[in-house]
Copies of this chain bind each other. A is one copy, B any other.
Amino acid sequence: MASSPAKGSPPDKRRLILDAAVKVFARQGFNQCRVADIADEAGVAYGLVYHYFRSKDAVLDTLFLERWNIMVDVIGQVDRQEIAAREKLRSVAGFIVDSYRHDPELMKVIIVEVTRAANSFGRTHLPEIRRAYDRIAEIVEGGVRTGEFRDAVAPHFAAMAFYGAIEQVLTGWIFADDPIGDEEFDQAKDLIVETICGGLNG
């Protein structure tokens, strides 16, 4: 989903390129697409991509960091709220699911091309990726401290299970052939939290 400039404002070509890149990376994959595809999709000249970005890699770096940093910030904000730990996890899961609902292509690119790409962008952005996990772990830690969560599971480990569950659900949607309905999105938020917090044994 493309960011739209204010009404009547001149088209921001840089933004146009980034939005086009999301579409193309999502459709064909980073490695399978050519820079020309991005330019074509954006409706700009080939060279303009290189006017705004050092390289094809830099385009993906920019896309990832823009979104990922927002997510990291949100997780931090959520943790600072005065609500139950479970509600915090609910907010985080909700934010990530809504991120996918709002811009599935961008989230697909982030998950497929970055967070699991251990030999390329995942390695490059390891610090940023870990920062997100750490912040989720802090939420769990808080829950353990207040006694809301039991300490049978190490916070860092719980964070991995929680984020892993979310990413797996998103991966399922990414692979799905049919569009995902709103109910499914909302259900997912609940189920993720219910599974991780409530457990299967209940």
Contacts and interface: CB of A to CB of B under 8 A. Distances in A.
Interface of A: 27-29, 31-32, 86, 108, 111-112, 115-120, 122-123, 126, 129, 140, 143, 148-150, 152-154, 157-158, 160-161, 163-169, 171-172, 174-175, 188, 191-192, 194-202
A120 B29 contact: yes
A37 to B, nearest CB: 13
B200 A201 contact: no
Given A123-B175, A160-B165, A165-B161, A195 B117 contact: no
Contacts of A198: 152-153, 199, 201
- Copies, count: 4
A100 to B, nearest CB: 13
A158 B195 contact: yes
Given A29-B120, A112-B118, A123-B175, A202 B150 contact: yes
Contacts of A197: 199-201
A27 B152 CA distance: 35
Which residue among A28, A108, A175, A197 has the maximum number of chain B CB atoms within 10 Å of its CB? A175
B108 A118 contact: yes
B171 A116 contact: yes
Given A152-B194, A153-B194, 20 more contacts: A28-B119, A29-B119, A31-B31, A115-B171, A116-B171, A140-B200, A152-B198, A153-B195, A153-B200, A160-B168, A160-B169, A161-B164, A161-B195, A164-B168, A164-B169, A164-B171, A195-B199, A196-B200, A198-B201, A199-B202
